[in-house]
Structure 1
Amino acid sequence: MAGEAESGGLKFDPMAQFIVKPLFGDGPVGLFTVTNVTLWMAFAALAVVLMMVMGTTRRAVIPSRSQSIAELAYGFIYKMVEDVAGKDAVVFFPYIMTLFMFIVFANFLGLIPMSFTTTSHFAVTVVLALLVFVTVTVVGFVKNGTKFLGLFWVSSAPLALRPVLAVIEVISYFVRPVSHSIRLAGNVMAGHAVIKVFAGFAAIALVSPLSVVAITAMYGLEVLVSFIQAYVFTILTCVYLKDALHPSH
């Protein structure tokens, strides 16, 4: 929050908006403490239910706005799964659809003033990425058995290079959840921090008009980024699922 410092300048902390706080009281955050993260994750889940379930309970030939949005989202993700991972991956469509809808709603809710952006925290994105990693790995071994290890053996490369490439492929595979989670949290956090910095300069009379323009531009960009990051997270999930279903190089 911006305020006058003793030196006469402005003092604000753009990272303060990401602090996890107990929802009730001021005590320490424990394992079962209900926090602002808990609240806004619940809001995101509730928003998904309201749009996808309540919005389609009265389906009609001429759809309502909520039905149109729900059907558009359904068709968009279904086509993504089918095109990227193949028709045999459609069985995982409910999971991928849920993943996309939760992330996109969590991102959009985070743009509401005074709200909390849950996807800016690695504790949230790492869990989502690990769930994808474990699911893909289990599916790969269940469907293909030891043939799943063919994902790490580049048979098209020269024989002398294959062991080296195998080590690189294994490292790359286990780095997936790290990059998967950091990409989402990092982009969301960076955008919100920049908006907060511009908002801090709004208290300066000479800079205020430029600050308002910058905030408006960044906010519009963040709306786009909120959707793109949900899309990127989801399409990477489809790519990883394709590797599990068809592991050979």
Structure 2
Amino acid sequence: MAAAEEEVGGLVFHPMDQFIVKPLFGDGPISWYTPTNAMLWMALSALAVIALLVFGTRGRAIVPSRSQSIAELTYGMVRKMVEDITGKEGLKYFPYVMTLFCFILFANALALLPMSFSPTSQIAVTAVLAFMVFFFVTILGFVKNGSHFLGLFWVSSAPAAMRPVLAIIELISYFVRPVSHSIRLAGNIMAGHAVMKVFAAFAAVVALAPVSILAIVGVYALEVLVVTIQAYVFTILTCVYLKDALHPGH
């Protein structure tokens, strides 16, 4: 099979192989306790967050260092996002939102390093993050508002005949939230890395190498923006869902 592929043109590459979860030690089957490449890079992402927010701000200097400046800017941006969308009442949940943003941002960014692995390209990872948000805001909505939380699905400003239909549509869209929330992040990260892998494979062809290298540089620069934008989008949607839990009703 491999020989047949080489005879076709000599250019054989598998851009999706980079997303395979593999055990760190050996080649045996993967169980729930098996250390994997995904686990390693998620742990490194968590350590990077700790390094920035804990060790980077430990000095608390009046004239901040670079790490302290980055940590303070990140803190201020996410805090303002939470306050602007959810109001003052939502600030008590700021630590959770901040943790989500930083983890996703560092997981996305570290995946751009050579020989790295992207945990946020795995739907299993992004689905866990999305369903955590979904269950959290749903439980919070009922705890805070009781049965009034169901007002989120009842469009009282619409004509009476349309309200039951709109309620069904609102209910379906509500339960679709974690699906779209997770697929958006995983799909964008996976697509970007797959495109870079394809262009990198064409760099082996002498005639296409200059164009391929320029394409890789362009896509990589775009991915630097995408890793930040996707973390921001995931976080801002979390804030919107949190606002619905705190202030339901149309």
TM-score bracket relative to the smaller structure: over 0.9
Q: Quick one: distance in 2 between partners of 1:130 and 1:8?
A: 45
Inter-partner Cα distance in structure 2 for 1:57 and 1:205 = 51
Deviations 1:193-231 (A, max 9, x none): 000000000000010000000000000000000000000
Moved over 4 A (4+): none
Question: Matches of 1:206 and 1:151 in 2, distance apart?
Answer: 59
The 2-side partners of 1:31 and 1:105 are apart by 24
How far does residue 8 in structure 1 lie from its aligned partner after superposition?
3.5
* Cα deviation code 1:129-149 (max 9, x no counterpart): 000000000110000000000
Whole-angstrom CA distance in 1 between matches of 2:190 and 2:9: 29
Distance 2:6 2:193 in 1: 23
Instruction: Mark the runs of 5 or more structure 1 residues left unpaired by the alignment.
Output: none
Corresponding residue number in structure 2 for 1:107: 108
Aligned AA for 1:174?
F
Aligned pairs for 1:147-226 (under 5 A) are: 147-226=148-227
Matching of residue 230 in structure 1 with residue 231 in structure 2:
yes
Residue-pair matches, total: 247
Gaps of 5+ in 2: none
> What is the identity percentage for the equivalent residue pairs of Structure 1 and Structure 2?
69
1:47-58 mapped onto 2 (5 Å cutoff):
47-58=48-59
CA RMSD in angstroms comes to 1.0
| TM-score, normalised with respect to structure 1 | 0.98
In the other structure, the counterpart of 2:45 is 44
Q: How does 1:45-84 map to 2 (within 5 A)?
A: 45-84=46-85
TM-score, normalisation: structure 2: 0.97
**Corresponding position of 2:247:** 246
State the alpha-carbon separation in 2 of the partners of residues 98 and 215 from structure 1: 31
SS in 2 for 1:68: helix
Q: Match of 1:6, SS? A: helix
- Residue in 2 that maps onto 1:144: 145
**TM-superposition CA deviations, 1:103-158 (whole Å, max 9, x none):** 00000000001000000000000000000000000110000000000000000000
Residue 128 of structure 1 aligns with which residue?
129
